[in-house]
């Protein structure tokens, strides 16, 4: 809404509210009795106030002076905001908002006759058509919409889908269906010429084959396509105009999918969610690399890492853009580290946009590893095992390398032997912060300290990057340690830092934060004093409370 219109609305509404309140207070004054002392007098005064309020409301209820004085563009702005008129053709508008549109419109029509007359005479409020409604209601909406572009929808659990035949196809700008039962009905409807169609959302049943006898009509203006268990034909001329493509698939990447993507020369957003269960072999090399020069965002979810490797090896997208990769069944992912690195790397011309920070979430349960920057994310849904530690290390190292070693925050959730070994192996990376979300098991803190001290005798090492032959602290860049929800022996922490100080004259470690932890061992004030002497702050944080300095906390738990 233009700023001038907004300010005008605020001014008019504020003046009206002030006049309304003033009238209430003026009428209430006539009922006031400053000498009233008893309870009955007080009750009588309150009743009089309520009567006054009702009188004012009744008097204002049917008054149309304000409504008639408002400029038409202001009224349209107010109603447009209430009904989300500007968003009804937005392909990302949540389905529940679209489904509530008709109810909201009917509620607004019941406010007053002035509102109802205005809404009935304004085609812009009659663009949304639920084709599951009775034919008479649909016909009425179409008549009221006049020549306005239409948003047609239906969702699961509805009926009377045949009413879509009442809709003039040439005026449909948005067509959204989440009802697989009505798939063939919508496919038949799409055989009509639809020059205004810009956003299409359609859903089939899993494993349902498309009917080649039902070709799609001419869709020259389509820009957004969301298809569930269905894929557009690779030879559709309108693919060149697509800006957004979202596909839910039941199979791994195949030749037809690559041909579809090759035709989407102007694509800006790509999302593929695949439920493929098995890898059936490599794609033929006949198809050329897929160039998507305008792509700005990509989101891929695949069952297997081999499947996604087939796709990302062929994608060429010279723009800087957001990338998210989620892989559910990670088998032999060490074979695809270079592919993951290629996916998360920056494109040519983006060398000045390398991230300053990243974080790696390591969990002993779902998901196994998440590596994320401001614009990149890779999630591997695999619980790290001891045998996988070298491959996980190589993956994090690859990401850090291609992104020029951003400052890394490592978060540990649901610790296990494998997660501690992986943390230990990462000591040579540019780690700024370690956050350990532990359990109430008192051994967790000990295991954590062993991991970050990286003494070979503390944890069994593996061949490769986990082995550390020195007794030096390997986390040279570590500045913050944060521990959650466990028992902490303060003797261990002070001893750890003092040992570090002995080997490194000026430690980088600046802060130790304990969140909802039970303290044991050394008295907290003594621990604070010992750490303050070497420039390290020790802080205690309670859930739901402001952070507090441990200097104000006395005694041990």
- The pLDDT confidence band at residue 79, using thresholds 50, 70 and 90, is confident
DSSP code for 26:
H
Which helix (DSSP H) or strand (DSSP E) does residue 110 occupy? Answer: none
Which helix (DSSP H) or strand (DSSP E) does residue 242 occupy? Answer: none
Bridge partners of residue 316, in order along the sequence: 291
The pLDDT score that the predictor gives to residue 220 is: 94
- The pLDDT confidence band at residue 320, using thresholds 50, 70 and 90, is confident
pLDDT (average), residues 29-39:
51
- The pLDDT confidence band at residue 254, using thresholds 50, 70 and 90, is confident
Strands 487-489 and 431-437: unpaired
The pLDDT score that the predictor gives to residue 55 is: 62
The pLDDT score that the predictor gives to residue 333 is: 80
Mean per-residue pLDDT of the chain: 79
The counts of H helices and E strands in the chain are 16, 22
Residue 520 CA to residue 490 CA, distance in Å, equals 6
DSSP 269-327: EEEEEE-------PPPTTSPPEE-TT--EEEEEEEEHHHHHHHHTTEE--S--EEEEEE
Could you tell me if residue 440 is inside a domain?
A: yes
Could you tell me if residue 214 is inside a domain?
A: no
Could you tell me if residue 388 is inside a domain?
A: yes
Q: What is the pLDDT of residues 208-219, one digit of tens each?
A: 655 555 678 889
Domain count, the chain: 1
Q: What is the pLDDT of residues 161-201, one digit of tens each?
A: 678 889 999 999 999 998 888 888 898 899 999 999 999 99
- The pLDDT confidence band at residue 504, using thresholds 50, 70 and 90, is low
Q: 401 lies in which domain range?
A: 376-458+472-556
Do residues 375 and 322 touch, judged by C-beta distance below 8 A?
A: yes
Q: Is residue 317 scored above 60 in pLDDT?
A: yes
Q: 329 or 173, which is more confident?
A: 173
Q: Is residue 224 scored above 60 in pLDDT?
A: yes
- The pLDDT confidence band at residue 315, using thresholds 50, 70 and 90, is confident
Q: Is residue 505 scored above 70 in pLDDT?
A: no
Could you tell me if residue 365 is inside a domain?
A: no
The pLDDT score that the predictor gives to residue 110 is: 84
pLDDT (average), residues 24-53:
55
pLDDT (average), residues 423-428:
90
Residue bearing tokens 């034909």: 233
- The pLDDT confidence band at residue 465, using thresholds 50, 70 and 90, is very low
pLDDT (average), residues 366-388:
83
pLDDT (average), residues 351-356:
81
The pLDDT score that the predictor gives to residue 41 is: 57
Count Cβ atoms within 10 A of the Cβ of residue 12 and give its class: 0-12 exposed, 13-18 middle, 19 or more buried: middle
Q: Is residue 526 scored above 90 in pLDDT?
A: no
DSSP 162-217: GGGGGS-GGGEEEEEE--GGGHHHHHHHTTS--TT--EEEEE--TTPPP-TTS---
- The pLDDT confidence band at residue 111, using thresholds 50, 70 and 90, is confident
Q: Is residue 419 scored above 50 in pLDDT?
A: yes
Contact partners, residue 294, CB within 8 Å, separation at least 6: 265, 266, 267, 268, 319
Could you tell me if residue 46 is inside a domain?
A: no
3-class SS of residue 225: strand
Could you tell me if residue 131 is inside a domain?
A: no
Bridge partners of residue 361, in order along the sequence: 370, 411
Could you tell me if residue 513 is inside a domain?
A: yes
Do residues 196 and 149 touch, judged by C-beta distance below 8 A?
A: yes
Do residues 157 and 168 touch, judged by C-beta distance below 8 A?
A: no
Could you tell me if residue 521 is inside a domain?
A: yes
Q: 68 or 396, which is more confident?
A: 396
Q: 60 or 434, which is more confident?
A: 434
Q: Is residue 551 scored above 70 in pLDDT?
A: no
The pLDDT score that the predictor gives to residue 283 is: 53
Q: What is the pLDDT of residues 388-401, one digit of tens each?
A: 889 899 999 999 99
The Cα angle at residue 457 between residues 451 and 462, in degrees rounded to 5: 70
């Amino acid at each position: 809404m233009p700023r001038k219109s907004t300010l005008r609305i605020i001014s008019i509404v504020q003046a009206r509210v002030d006049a309304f309140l003033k009238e209430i207070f003026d009428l209430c004054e006539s009922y006031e009795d400053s000498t009233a002392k008893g309870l009955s007098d007080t009750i009588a005064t309150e009743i009089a106030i309520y009567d006054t309020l009702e009188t004012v409301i009744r008097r204002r209820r049917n008054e149309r002076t304000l409504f008639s004085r408002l400029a038409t563009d202001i009224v349209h702005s107010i109603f447009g905001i209430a009904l989300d008129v500007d968003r009804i053709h937005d392909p990302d508008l949540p389905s529940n908002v679209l489904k509530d549109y008709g109810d909201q419109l009917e509620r607004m029509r019941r406010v007053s006759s002035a509102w109802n007359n205005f809404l009935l005479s304004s085609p812009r409020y009659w663009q949304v058509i639920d084709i599951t409604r009775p034919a008479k209601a649909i016909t009425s909406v179409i008549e009221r919409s006049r020549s306005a572009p239409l948003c047609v929808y239906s969702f699961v659990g509805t009926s009377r889908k045949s009413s879509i035949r009442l809709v003039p196809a040439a005026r449909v700008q948005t067509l959204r269906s989440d009802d697989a039962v009505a798939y063939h009905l919508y496919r038949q409807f799409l055989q009509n010429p639809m020059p205004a169609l810009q956003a299409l959302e359609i859903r089939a049943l899993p494993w349902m084959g498309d009917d080649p006898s039902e070709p799609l009509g001419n869709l020259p203006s389509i820009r957004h396509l969301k298809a569930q268990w269905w894929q557009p034909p690779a030879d559709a001329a309108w693919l060149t105009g697509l800006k957004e493509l979202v596909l839910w698939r039941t199979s791994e990447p195949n030749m037809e999918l690559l041909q579809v993507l090759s035709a989407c020369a102007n694509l800006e957003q790509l999302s593929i969610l695949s439920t493929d269960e098995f890898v059936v072999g490599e794609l033929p090399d006949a198809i050329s690399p897929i160039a998507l020069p305008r792509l700005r965002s990509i989101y891929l979810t695949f069952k297997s890492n081999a499947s996604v490797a087939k796709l990302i090896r062929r994608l060429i997208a010279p723009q800087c853009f957001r990338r998210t990769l989620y892989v559910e069944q990670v088998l032999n992912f060490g074979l695809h580290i270079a592919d993951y690195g290629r996916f998360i790397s920056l494109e040519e011309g983006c060398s000045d946009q390398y991230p300053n920070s990243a974080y790696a979430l390591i969990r002993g349960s779902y998901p196994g590893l998440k590596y994320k920057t401001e614009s990149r994310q890779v999630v591997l849904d695999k619980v790290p095992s001891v045998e996988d530690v070298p491959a996980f290390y190589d993956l994090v190292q690859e990401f850090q390398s291609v992104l020029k070693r951003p400052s890394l925050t490592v978060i540990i959730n649901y610790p296990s032997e494998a997660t501690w070994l992986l943390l230990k192996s990462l000591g040579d990376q540019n780690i700024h912060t370690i956050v350990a979300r532990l359990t109430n098991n008192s051994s967790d803190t000990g295991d954590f300290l062993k991991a970050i001290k990286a003494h070979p005798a503390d944890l069994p090492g593996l061949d490769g990057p986990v082995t550390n032959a020195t007794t030096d602290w390997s986390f040279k860049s570590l500045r913050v340690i944060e521990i959650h929800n466990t028992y902490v022996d303060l003797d261990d922490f002070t001893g750890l830092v003092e040992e570090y100080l002995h080997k490194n004259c000026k430690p980088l470690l600046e802060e130790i934060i304990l969140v909802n932890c039970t303290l044991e061992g050394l008295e907290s004030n003594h621990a604070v004093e010992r750490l303050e002497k070497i420039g390290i702050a020790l802080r205690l944080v309670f859930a739901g409370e402001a952070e507090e300095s441990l200097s104000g906390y006395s005694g041990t738990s």
